Amino acid sequence: MNAFFKLQQHGSSVRAEIIGGVTTFITMAYIMVVNPAILSFAGIPVGPSTVATILTAAVGCLLMGLIANRPIAVAPYMGENAFIAFGLAALGIGWEQRLGAVFVSGVLFLIITLLGVRGWLANSVPVSLKHSFAVGIGLFLAFIGLYETSIVTSFVSGMPPQALPTDAHGLFLSPAVPVKIGNLRDPQVLLALGGFLLMTVLMIRKVRGALLIGIVVTALIGGALGFGHMPKAIVALPFTGEYDLSQIAFKLDITSVLHLSFLPVLLTLFLMSFLDTLGTLTGLGSAANLLDEKGNFPQVEKPMLVDALTCMFSGLVGTSTSGAYIESATGISAGARTGLAAVVTAALFAASLFFIPLIEPLQQLRFAYGPALIAVGVLMTGSVRRIDFDDLTEWVPAFVTIVMMLFTYNIANGLTAGLVVHPVLKLASGRARELNAGTIVLALLCAAYYLFGLPH
């Protein structure tokens, strides 16, 4: 292991890597609960989806350890799963086609990664924008958590239909205020608030697995109060019965995705996934001090290759786009420095396949897993201090990225808007020399998203 993972060269040890790998797993284990719950809105059955989520995480982490030798965990992305579940709902696209789009985007990622284009584009993004990606994604996840737990809810929630404003044709108008605070007397809302505070205290005290402990404790308290239900069993054989992966594996529809009419969907998913990977790797590198003096992630092509391969695997087994997880920073802070930590995380995900019955009740408890999304948002928004606030040509694009991502409830809108605004401001201020070819290419691709994609 020392020779393969170069432990001594990275100043690490087997013990440090095991501790780091376990820490990362405990921190991000919530994805086994949250991802299937979200994808269920796309019609993907929860049991097989849970198996696909865990299997993808195990394979992705293993590949990251063996190919990239990085202490970075890989699993289905938050954000992309929301796009798969909700963003395509209005188009009447079945989940088979959505999985086909995941696979095809993975193939495209693989091609541009092998050609060196992906790494070139990644290193072309301005430093302030890179850090704004992490901030925006963090706030986006926090907002999802607030809304899922009803700490924040729609302004029209609880209002009778006759109280809602309509136009002359009887169509509902947008409310003057989009959201409002939830019912703080609701026991489940109070549970969510308590869960978030518990997670925060545990993180302050640097307790490993703070998020997972918070989810489990909150769920147990909720169960004792009569919310949710107890697990049907402790262990179960994966790939059988309600966990039979054959219900969704290899059911993807690739043929429909290759039609010209599907191009806007592919363009949108491709750009979202490409930019999310870039944003998350940059946010992870920033949080873990892995970036070089130019703000670039060293040898970014290797983790991006793993990302592409795992994305293809995701579509094949029946789950959403996968990529690097920001929670890997907790494992790095615990001492992980090489891919051995990722292999340890992979092994723990693989073992989880036999304990799915313990996971299933948590998937119904929004008050339990919602606070984890808020807590992850807290961790990610720390990158805001690395944005250059003194230069408006840097700060304004970063600001646009963050607010568009959050207030349009769409990650792609924020990433693309920031990448378009940045070169425009540089040109308008007479500082075109600060731009590079990669920045221009990204701006043109993002402009194509608004012209030909599916901005929503």
- 246: exposed, middle or buried (C-beta count within 10 Å: 0-12, 13-18, 19+)? exposed
CB-side neighbour CA atoms (13 Å) of 157 = 13
Those residues with Cβ within 8 angstroms of residue 228's Cβ, 6 or more apart along the chain or in another chain: 219, 222, 361, 364, 365
**Residue pair 3/325 in contact by the 8 Å Cβ criterion:** no
Percent of the chain past pLDDT 90, that is, above it, reads: 35
Q: What is the mean pLDDT of the chain?
A: 85
| pLDDT at position 276 over 80 | no
pLDDT digits (tens, 9 = 90+) for 326-365: 778 778 777 788 899 999 999 999 999 998 888 767 667 8
3-class secondary structure, 179: strand
Give the residue with greater pLDDT, 295 vs 182: 182
E strands of 156-208, at which residues? Answer: 179-181
Percent helix / strand / coil, the chain, rounded to 5: 70, 5, 30
Which of the four pLDDT bands, split at 50, 70 and 90, describes residue 395? very high
Task: Give the pLDDT confidence score for residue 107 in this predicted structure.
Answer: 93
pTM: 0.73
Residues 380-398 have a mean pLDDT of: 91
Q: What is the pLDDT of residue 454?
A: 62
User: How many angstroms separate the CA atoms of 145 and 232, rounded?
Assistant: 27
Q: Looking at mean pLDDT, say which of 19-33, 158-172, 321-335, 421-435 comes out highest.
A: 421-435
Q: Report DSSP letters for 107-120, one per residue.
A: HHHHHHHHTTHHHH
Region 158-179: what's the mean pLDDT? 77
Q: What does the pLDDT average to over 129-145?
A: 83
Read off the pLDDT of each residue in 38-62 and give the average, rounded to a whole number.
92
Q: Provide the 3-class DSSP secondary structure of residue 11.
A: coil
Per-residue confidence at 221, pLDDT binned at 50, 70, 90?
very high
Do residues 138 and 380 lie in contact, with contact meaning Cβ atoms separated by under 8 Å?
A: yes
The β-bridge relationship of strands 179-181 and 74-76 is unpaired
Q: Is the pLDDT confidence value at 288 over 60?
A: no
**What's residue 207's pLDDT?**
82
Residue type, 183: N
Q: In the prediction, which pLDDT does 453 show?
A: 66
- What residue ranges do the domains of the chain occupy? 9-157+176-452
Q: What gap in Å lies between CA 123 and CA 70, rounded to an integer?
A: 18
pLDDT in the model for residue 361: 75
User: Which of 49-53, 431-435, 452-456 has the lowest average pLDDT?
Assistant: 452-456
Strand residues in 263-396 grouped as ranges (E): 322-324
- Residue closest to 379 by CA, chosen among 134, 205, 150, 82: 134
Of 124, 82, 131, the residue nearest 446 (C-alpha): 124
Rounded Cα distance, 127 and 439, in Å: 12
Using DSSP's 3-state secondary structure scheme, residue 219 falls into: helix
Residue 398 confidence class, pLDDT cut points 50, 70, 90: very high
CA distances for 400 relative to 14, 405, 431, angstroms: 43, 8, 19
Of 155 and 200, more confident:
200
Backbone angle region of 249, left / alpha / beta, with phi > 0 → left and psi within -120 to 50 → alpha: beta
Spatial CB neighbours of 279, under 8 Å, sequence gap ≥ 6: 130, 133, 134, 136, 137, 415
As a whole number of angstroms, the distance between CA 268 and CA 83 comes to 10
Per DSSP, the three-state class of 455 is coil
Q: What is the pLDDT of residues 305-317, one digit of tens each?
A: 999 999 999 999 9
Q: Residue 69 has which token pair?
A: 């030798």
Task: Provide long-range contacts, Cβ within 8 A and 24+ apart, for 256-264.
Answer: 256/97, 256/100, 257/97, 257/100, 257/101, 257/103, 257/104, 258/104, 262/97, 262/101, 263/452, 264/452, 264/453, 264/454
Of residues 449 and 73, more confidently modeled? 73
pLDDT grade for 283, boundaries at 50, 70 and 90: low
The label of the residue with tokens 């984890």 reads 372
Q: Rounded to whole angstroms, how far apart are CA atoms 371 and 215?
A: 8
Mean pLDDT calculated for residue range 263-276: 73
- How far is Cα 331 from Cα 25, in angstroms, rounded to an integer? 8
Question: E-assigned strands of 166-255?
Answer: 179-181
Contact 48, 100 (CB under 8 A): no
Query: Which of the four pLDDT bands, split at 50, 70 and 90, describes residue 260?
Result: confident
> Of the ranges 191-200, 291-300, 332-341, 369-378, which is most confident?
191-200
Question: In angstroms, rounded to a whole number, what is the distance separating the alpha carbons of residues 123 and 178?
Answer: 37
